[in-house]
Amino acid sequence: MMNPRVEKLMNEQVNKEFFSAYLYQAIAAYFAEQNLSGFAHWMNAQVQEEVIHAYKFYNHILERGGRVVLEAIDKPPSEWDSPLAAFEAALKHERFISESINKIYDAVIEEKDHASRPLLDWFVDEQIEEEDTATGNVERMKLVADHGHGILMLDKELSARVLPAPVLLGQVPGGE
């Protein structure tokens, strides 16, 4: 039996993670339009990670006997002032997600929902990494500024990101 307050927050988090995927897909399209194919590749990999994040909460709700309720996903922006501004938007969004994860963790502790703690511990660690890589992208973009050669070098570096493992489909409770 799942705690109703935690169930509601986790359903909202499923939506936020799918929105993250949608936002990063929009940024990937913007980068592709700017002929920054390495940046676009990096963001496409990030999209897949966000879908995995959504599934982690989705599967947890099902495994605990809760109900998954999917709401509409907000429309992301379609353009930014510069590639730096797009990376800054991604960093700002990850900070928002970290706050959201922390709020779920607070609820899990208050409601004594011990079974949800391993999942939230995983997300707390993941958000440290997400903010760190997003900050790195912003800082390195600031370093190269408007220098074309530096931007192309960074683009080549980001093109090497390995895609995450394929997304697991939603699990049936009790099934494999």
Binding site for Mg ion (CB under 5 A): 17, 20, 50, 53
Nearer to Mg ion, 168 or 172 (CB): 168
Nearer to Mg ion, 65 or 77 (CB): 77
Nearest approach, Cβ of residue 50 and Mg ion (Å): 5
Measure the CA–CA gap between 8 and 4, rounded to whole angstroms.
6
Nearest approach, Cβ of residue 100 and Mg ion (Å): 9
Using an 8 Å Cβ cutoff, are 91 and 135 in contact? yes
Q: What is the CA radius of gyration of the chain?
A: 18
Nearer to Mg ion, 37 or 48 (CB): 48
Nearest approach, Cβ of residue 22 and Mg ion (Å): 12
Cβ neighbors of 108 (< 8 A, separation 6 or more) are 6, 116, 117, 120
